[in-house]
């Protein structure tokens, strides 16, 4: 007597577990336009993730020629853009949680101000560069990059973002985040940085 094979039960077939939203996002390059017409070169600011910071075609398509990496756990190699120009990278590594200090967060924000205002001299031995748009990124573009951009938007562009909450609400809306991002320790540092009296100086720097 022949024994019939048992019918396939698809619900018993194992497969890779579905990716979480964060895993899905972190597996592909993502950019979000944050603000336009910033600084002496009329730059556009973008928020992004680590994958985007390594995608030369994507960056070139958005006119991005400089990037600020604010993740301590994301060392990146130099990147040549499709036109042969080197992406100008700056790196101020922040921890996504406890361990940073207010001066460290301010350093990242000032590095962004520097990228927005730095000249591009054609000196011998300097990689070819031109002013362009700027990417601010961490690993996922959820906490550290948002904190740096929010602080910058409020202190440097107060006419557009009168309060830190205005800047954070804007970034959360652009990025699709809830009130848990940026993380609590970074939020506390942002409040400390509001007492730095940098706003007047930043406005003068950006507007000449």
Please give the Cα distance from 132 to 60 (Å, whole number): 10
Write the CA distances from 177 to 22, 46, 174, 183, integer angstroms: 11, 16, 8, 11
Task: Tell me what percent of the residues of the chain surpass a pLDDT of 70.
Answer: 89
pTM: 0.86
Structural domain span for residue 33:
29-207
Q: Is residue 169 part of a domain?
A: yes
Give mean pLDDT, residues 122-130: 83
Q: Is residue 21 part of a domain?
A: no
Task: Tell me what percent of the residues of the chain surpass a pLDDT of 90.
Answer: 72
Q: Is residue 120 part of a domain?
A: yes
Asked whether the CA dihedral 146, 151, 157, 159 is positive or negative, the reply is positive
Q: Is residue 10 part of a domain?
A: no
CATH of the domain at 52: 3.90.190.10
Number of domain units in the chain: 1
Structure confidence by residue, pLDDT tens digits, 10-65: 334 444 556 678 888 888 999 999 999 999 999 999 999 999 999 999 999 999 99
Q: Is residue 15 part of a domain?
A: no
Of the candidates 188, 196, 178, which has an alpha carbon nearest to the alpha carbon of residue 97?
Answer: 188
Q: Is residue 3 part of a domain?
A: no
């Amino acid at each position: 007597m022949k024994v019939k094979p048992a019918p396939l039960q698809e619900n018993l077939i194992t497969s890779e577990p579905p990716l979480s939203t964060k895993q899905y996002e972190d597996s592909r390059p993502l950019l979000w336009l944050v603000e336009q017409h910033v600084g002496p070169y009329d730059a556009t600011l973008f928020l992004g993730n680590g994958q985007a910071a390594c995608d030369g075609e994507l960056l070139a398509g958005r006119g991005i020629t400089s990037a600020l990496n604010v993740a301590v756990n994301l060392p990146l190699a130099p990147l040549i853009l499709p036109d042969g120009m080197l992406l100008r990278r700056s790196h101020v590594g922040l921890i996504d949680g406890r361990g940073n200090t207010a001066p460290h967060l301010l350093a990242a924000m000032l590095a962004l101000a520097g990228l927005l205002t730095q000249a591009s001299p054609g000196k011998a031995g300097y990689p070819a560069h031109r002013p362009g748009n700027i990417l601010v990124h961490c690993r996922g573009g959820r906490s550290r990059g948002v904190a740096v951009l929010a602080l910058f938007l409020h202190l440097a562009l107060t006419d557009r973002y009168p309060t830190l909450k205005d800047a954070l609400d804007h970034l959360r809306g652009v990025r699709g985040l809830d009130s848990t991002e940026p993380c609590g320790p970074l939020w506390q540092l942002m409040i400390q940085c509001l007492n730095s009296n940098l706003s007047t100086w930043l406005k003068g720097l950006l507007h000449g």
